[in-house]
Structure 1
Amino acid sequence: MKNKLIGALCAVLVLPSAAMAARIQQTDLFGEPYRAALQVGSDQAQVVYYRLGVPGEKFGAANIYIDEEFHTGLLPGGYTVFCLAPGSHGMSAVLRDAPAYAGKHDQPKLQFEAGKTQFLRVGENGENQPLAVPREQAEQELANNLRQVHVLSRASAVQSCKYVHQPQERSYSLSSDVLFGFGKASYEDIREDGRRDVGSLVRRLHKENVRIDKIEVVGHTDRIGRGAANEALGLRRAQTVRQLLIDNGLAPESISARSAGSRMPVTQGCRGDRKALIACYAPDRRVVIHLKGLSEQ
């Protein structure tokens, strides 16, 4: 009966269209978008476990086990945040695990440091071993993920996180295809949709009445073309978006711009001719705005 209950909770639907994929975000499968992980106290370790993809785009959950106990079933585009006592814990994400749920017994042991946050990503090739990801890369990949909320954790090691009160950080990812035409980067090239998105973000920040210590704008490209050219394109796009933020009323001395080029892709397995690659690589083409040191005024 217990296995059947867990199986029912972890079941997901095959969604055949982009419209239906958008609708799944409004159901009880997902919660709020990812926001930068806060600092936990010295008696806890924090874990952000996530899965690449778009919410609702594929079939199948990756069952997350902690010390051989079920925590959640991560769908593509989902994430979970939880805290543990510092030290050694078994941790795994298992695909195609129903109905036996035997994957919980085959867990690597990981060390979790007090006061630190560890970012782990689900492997999509059948490996149970979590993929440790540096914070900067992880938060780029998490920019459009939604919190997984459809299953209650059964892992006794999981604790409610106790956060140290400190200024927050947020990241907003803007599609370069919305901001610019393919290969474009100048101020004159910014599309109206892109101008509206940036303006809407600035108005939201003013409405929330928050103080921002630093803003970093990072331009990302796809893997088409030479590395040096992609670095230059990413920088030009970041500089253009920086200027747009200034034009919308943000202080220029607090805003920096840099390029990540094609070094931090979020897509996997793209193949085909140039047209197919351009379409597949679309999520890689983005400008990310990092807001650091947010606090109430």
Structure 2
Amino acid sequence: MNVKRLILIFGVSVFGFGCSSATKKPPLEHWNIFDSKPFAQPQSIKEGRTQVVFIRDKEGLSGPAANIFIEGHYFTSLLPGAYKAVQLCSHPTRINAAYTNSELNYMNARKQNSLQTLTEGTTQYYRLMNGSGQNVQIQALTESQAQAFLPNLKEEVNTVSRVKEVQECAKPVYVQVPVKTMLKKYTLEASTLFSFAKSGPNDITAKGRKEIAAIAAEIARDQEAISHIAVIGYTDPVGSENSNQQLSQRRAETVRMLLVQDGVVKKNILVEGRGEQELIVSDCEQKYAKDKAAREQCDLPNRRVEIITYGMKAE
């Protein structure tokens, strides 16, 4: 066999191997990288910042890794049984999450309007929860609620964050010395706003629409004095915590939509569902364990949507 023929045979063999390899799908990515240290509060929280802790326990969210975005920047990917903490500038911050998915439009996922108000010098906890369809919900937790999960979680350390944790936080400068203050709080009974167990715009009662329209007109008159508006949904403790949180979120979003339709500027409205947190009446079950009608009447103040206006006033 001459040299030229040998080279030709070798080249064809390599080409055939390359074609065969190219038709195989790459292996799925498998990673499971955690730090062994348990969660611990930092010795200090930097001036102008809030420590934010993201929690993914094994019951709250099913599915693949969940990517967390902060102001559109990738922060981390959480697997079940993981947490991740970061110190962020203390101002309303856009935080959202989405499953790892090759078909996901990450540009849209990063732009989701999910503002969280961060309080300077505090630690705030957020739990990843199953949402509707493929959505991942971010649920605020109290410290006591978070501590029920954190001892069983490990820190996720598998990826590199794109969030600038050490950046300087801008400080507002005013002509006078103003403070952010609550201007007014409107409380709407959910039973007046919505049909039973409903949450969409088509489920709003005629009385509920009138109440929202009147509030929107009042807010529109005072728009220049208002820095932002919070719309917060609440439920009673009946049912699962997850379903109550989702119901309260959907109701708050519906109320925001109607406020915008009635002339309130959308970008100034923050929406949050708190489910069965912050109950106004907490002993209805104990008082009326055998009287469902009385128990539902007792729980009525807990089923509500609050509209809170905030502004800056000089002291």
TM-score (norm 2): 0.40
TM-score (norm 1): 0.42
Structure having the higher Rg: 2
